[in-house]
Structure 1
Amino acid sequence: MNRDDHPESDLLGAYRRIAAIVDPPPADVLAAARAAFLTRDLDGAIAVLVADSRASVGYQPVRAEPDQAQGHWLLTFEGGGIRADLEVGEDAAGLRLLGLLSGTAEGDCELEQAGVRRPVEVDALGRFVVAGVSHGPIRLRCRAADGTRVTTAWVTI
């Protein structure tokens, strides 16, 4: 089949060009789409969010009402043979992540935010601290002990 067999394809092309001029997608949507496409890992495993202290999922509250002024938020991800426990806190430089990884290969972890990857220094016990993290979607990319690339689900902090 060639293009001449489908004259409506010219009309659809014209509609696409008009829509791109009249109502283009916002720049931040395009940037997020490009970042998502460029940072995909088709061979990796996903570690899903299994516990979130702010949503009372997976954690048993100690108080009847959560104390939002406490300033700490706990997240747990599991999958692909790893477990990642994160505590999100706020300090003068922005957000701070305290974490504990288990089941990962030593020294192979990154924090990804808006398409930018930052290496994460993980000690021999699996502990790490990342300071100066800005608000927005983040995820961790690590290698499991068996060599599998594992990426946590995106979470907005």
Structure 2
Amino acid sequence: MSWHSTDGADRSVAARWADDDHLGDELVAALAQGPLYDRVLGSAQTAFRAHRGMLAAREDLDLDLLLLSLVYDSNENPEPVGVRDRTGGQSRLLAFQGDELGVEVEVGSAVIEGQLIPPRAGRISLQSPEAVVTTLETDAVGYFRIDIRPDGPLRLVCDSVDGTCVTQWLPW
């Protein structure tokens, strides 16, 4: 560490602060002064309250969610081979996959249909950034249908006996 000082004052401070014991003594002496002590104590209390608030908020989150990755989007490959459009209109096919869980979704102009992979019963929640839009139970093989006009960023939260997984946010 080099100090660029013409009078040598900074050099002596740096030398004293290199000694941890001396630095600790100077910090104790500085904290003993009233106004600084009150500011440090106030900051510590604020930090403690913020930390407690974050811990409380964290309890409300399900941190065990498995984020599913988008592995197929028909918008990226507009002419899928061998796929028939049952709706008669434009639809978007999406496939999300995790390590052992997944969901396949077809998004139409007024409906979102899909199935949990591997097939199993479960619960699907459609979420916007502000709130849960709707929640429904799938059938025994994981099929679901949500009659809604998809708009804005949405994601699916899928619950089953295997756990909970969530898709990426998508601008449907």
Within the alignment, does 1:128 sit opposite 2:144 as a pair? yes
Q: Does the CA-based 8 Å contact 2:119-2:141 persist in structure 1?
A: no
Structure number with the bigger relative contact order (C-alpha 8 A, sep ≥ 6) is 1
Aligned match for 1:83, one of 83, 102, 125? 102
> Paired residue for 1:42?
63
> Paired residue for 2:80?
61
The one-letter code of the counterpart of 1:85 is E
Secondary structure, counterpart of 1:71 in structure 2: coil
Q: Which runs of 5+ in 2 are unaligned?
A: 1-26, 40-57, 83-87
Secondary structure, counterpart of 1:85 in structure 2: strand
Q: Which runs of 5+ in 1 are unaligned?
A: 8-36, 64-68
Q: Does the CA-based 8 Å contact 2:122-2:160 persist in structure 1?
A: no
**Distance of aligned partners of 1:61 and 1:102 in 2 relative to their CA distance in 1, 3 Å threshold:** closer
Question: Which structure: larger Rg?
Answer: 2
The one-letter code of the counterpart of 1:48 is S
In the TM superposition, residue 105 of structure 1 has moved relative to its aligned partner by 5.6
The one-letter code of the counterpart of 1:84 is V
The one-letter code of the counterpart of 1:135 is D
TM-score by length of 1: 0.59
**Distance of aligned partners of 1:129 and 1:98 in 2 relative to their CA distance in 1, 3 Å threshold:** same
Number of corresponding residues: 114
Structure 1's consecutive aligned runs of 4 or more residues displaced over 3 angstroms after TM superposition are 1-5, 59-63
TM-score by length of 2: 0.55
**Distance of aligned partners of 1:106 and 1:143 in 2 relative to their CA distance in 1, 3 Å threshold:** same
* C-alpha distance in structure 1 between counterparts of 2:119 and 2:158, whole Å: 7
> 1:34-85 CA distances to partner (integer Å, 9 max, x unpaired)?
xxx9x853221111110000012xx86349xxxxx94111111001522211
Q: Percent identity?
A: 29
